[in-house]
Amino acid sequence: MIKIQSLIIITILEILLVSCLSSSNQTATGEASKIPLQSTFKTTSLEQPPQVGKVISDLQKQRVKIDDVKTKLHTSSKDAQDLKKSLDSTKQQLSTLEQKLKTAKKEEMELLLHDISHINREGLVPFSEKMTNLPNIINDVITQTQLLKAATEKVPKSTSITLLQSKIANLQKDLNSLKTFHKNGEYQRIEENLQKIRNEFISESLKIEKKYQLPQSKAIMTMLTANKDLRLKMRMNFPFNLHDDKSLSTEKVGNQLQIFVCLVKWTATDVEPEVALSDTYQQEFQKFNDYIQEVSYGNLSATVTFSPIVTWSGPLPSTDPREEMEAAVELCDPFVDFNKIDGFFIYPTRDDEITGRGRRFTNVVANEGEIPSLNVVFLKRFSEGLIKHESGHALFGMLHATSINCGSSPFEDFGCSINEYGNPYDVMGRGAGRGGHYSAFSKELQGWVTAREILGDGTYELDALEVKSAGPKLLKIQFPNPLCIEYRKPLGLDNAMFRDIYSYFEVPASPPETGCLLINLCQYTTMLVDTTPNSFPVAVTVDPELYDDFDACIPIGREFSSDVLGITRMSFIQSAEHRHAASVTIDIDESRLS
């Protein structure tokens, strides 16, 4: 199966363009210096989610596009067959989402739109389209490379120029190899060689360009500026698959998060972002600051700076995330030092099929040079939950908080299904609109909480996740399928989350004031275990299994066991030492400890 990674092919011509733009006194908005601007906005209505009819129409068009792309792929190679299978799977997902959208209730709509955005974020269809058009793209790049080679032959010889010419020659060979690989349907080898081009040519040429300015670069830049569609289509962006990322990030972003919001008018007829915003916009980011301070126990806070409204000119970039990000970076580059921010928010995103997305990009070129990593959030509209969820992806490297459905059992080794956003108790899952805490597992990876490892039967103290304290907030059992146990109480931000979850119950209930325990499988991300399978506490007619784990949290008085998980029995009482701590008694299958 083709490894799905986020890679690009960039020509030296693009780097020359960046260098020229960096040295130019004029910017896309006519501003000459990087001035951080704090903005206030007039009160007006917030932008609404996309109309369901348009989304359904777009899903239908995308399925037709998949059929068309499949006919143009190589007929017999293994890579092509694997890619076709992935496209078939994507088509089936789109069909299922379309049917759900037609019957969805209002409160289910945003989750379905987020499911659609997840498929779009994988970028499988645009990637496949570009694979079918790869020979044309390569020919365009070869033509531009020949022009650059001719330019280097007209300037005085130097060590830098000789090295650059050598890199150009290698690039030409690599591009010809890509043609051969494409003819044979060897998409994996195409991917490997694109990585080689980046590692051996692009990075080195960027260093050279910093030292030596080619006289012809301005003319080349002018030509490319007049043909932005050509420059954009030369960027090969391989799809990104969330499930291929086998670990969460532990990179620390500092005590003060610096967030920059780039306000873009993509076309002259677009409504200016300022008109679409209100005082609520400011309030949402203030809520985000309050949220980050609470969930990080004061380790982090957030400061937000806004750009002036900037307008894109020329052919529009596609809705491919990398292309859109690079276009926004180009527009807002004069107003921000990318080396000094932790998050780059783009509003509004060009993609009408999503409400938002969060992602980290590597090797982003800006006026400061090559930025190793840029955390980007794309927003179609503003909401408290959306900002928290997408920031979890982009700023902290968190994955989705999933849940597992194994029928009548809490867990089985085979035959289970995964719900991508299944955990209602986590902002990275179905809790996105409820505003509760990130999971203890995610917090441990950020360094905000400590964990205690369970090495055998016994009673273990576990502090509530919502309260700042020195005690452990996570119990970990190192089984072949590792388990994480956290103690949640309706306190602080989690109070509203708990009450919202319990308001769905068919039999009215209040959240347990003494709290409850959640169990997650936690190897790469969290996967909530339904401790009461097939209880169906919520009265819904559409996809009731999506709500079956709303009562997964184990309260005082309930004992849990699962031989398959390796837990013989588990229960808890209120700690005698701390009113916001639990004394968890657990017996485990110690023979399974790794």
- Determine the residue type at 290: D
3-state helix, strand, coil in the chain (%, to 5): 40, 20, 40
Per-position pLDDT tens, the chain of length 594? 333 232 222 222 332 233 333 333 333 333 323 333 333 222 223 333 445 777 788 888 888 888 888 888 877 888 788 888 888 888 888 888 888 878 776 556 666 766 676 566 556 777 777 777 777 777 776 777 787 778 777 777 777 677 777 877 877 787 788 888 888 888 777 766 765 665 455 444 544 554 555 544 443 333 333 333 322 333 333 332 222 232 333 344 458 899 999 999 898 777 777 655 556 667 778 888 999 999 999 999 999 888 888 888 878 888 888 889 999 999 999 999 999 999 999 998 887 777 888 888 888 888 888 888 899 999 887 778 888 999 999 999 899 999 999 988 999 888 888 888 889 999 999 888 788 899 999 999 999 999 999 999 999 999 999 999 999 999 999 998 999 999 999 999 999 899 888 888 877 678 889 999 999 999 878 999 999 998 888 776 667 777 888 999 999 999 999 999 999 999 999 998 888 999 999 999 999 997
* Domain positions in the chain: 28-44+243-394, 402-592
pLDDT of residue 548: 86
Taking the C-alpha atoms of residue 277 and residue 45, their distance in angstroms, rounded to an integer, is: 7
Percent pLDDT > 70 in the chain is: 74
Q: Residue 71 half-sphere exposure, CB side, CA atoms within 13 Å?
A: 4
User: What tens digit of pLDDT does each residue of 387-444 get?
Assistant: 899 999 999 989 999 999 998 899 988 888 888 888 999 999 988 878 889 999 999 9
Among the four given CATH numbers 3.40.50, 3.40.390, 1.10.3470, 3.90.10, the one describing domain 28-44+243-394: 3.40.390
Q: Quick one: pLDDT at residue 27?
A: 34
Burial of 204 (0-12, 13-18, 19+ CB in 10 A): middle
The pLDDT value recorded for residue 196 is 61
pLDDT at residue 123, rounded to an integer: 61
- Contact predicate 425/497, CB 8 Å: yes
Three-state DSSP class for 278?
coil
pLDDT at residue 255, rounded to an integer? 85
**Structural tokens at position 97:** 């989402």
